[in-house]
Amino acid sequence: MEAMRASRPGMTTKEIGEVTDFVYRYNGALRLPDGHPAGRTREEAYAPAREEMEARERGTTVAAGDLIHMDTGAE
């Protein structure tokens, strides 16, 4: 939830993932690997695995109006 609140246009999907990771660790959990692809349409946001790897490694810059798909988990 905090990562969604912190998300702003101009952030990268990697930065959003780092916020998610911080919140999990702050609360004592370990985040599982995930991706936060973004795009203007559902088809762009629910990206294939290659684009999810890009989201983890360097990130895609989020634009105003983009849908961000957050598939996340912790243990």
pLDDT tens for 14-35 read 888 888 888 888 888 876 655 5
pLDDT at position 9 over 90: yes
pTM, entire model: 0.65
Q: How far is it, in rounded angstroms, from Cα 21 to Cα 41?
A: 26
Query: Alpha-carbon dihedral of residues 12, 24, 51, 45, nearest 10 degrees?
Result: -80
Q: Which of 34, 32, 31 is nearest to 52 (CA)?
A: 34
pLDDT of residue 59: 76
The contacts of residue 61 (CB under 8 Å, 6+ apart) are: 10, 11, 12
Give 30-71 pLDDT, tens digit per residue: 766 555 555 666 556 555 555 666 666 777 888 999 888 777
Helix (H, G, I), strand (E, B) or coil at 26: helix
DSSP state of 33: P
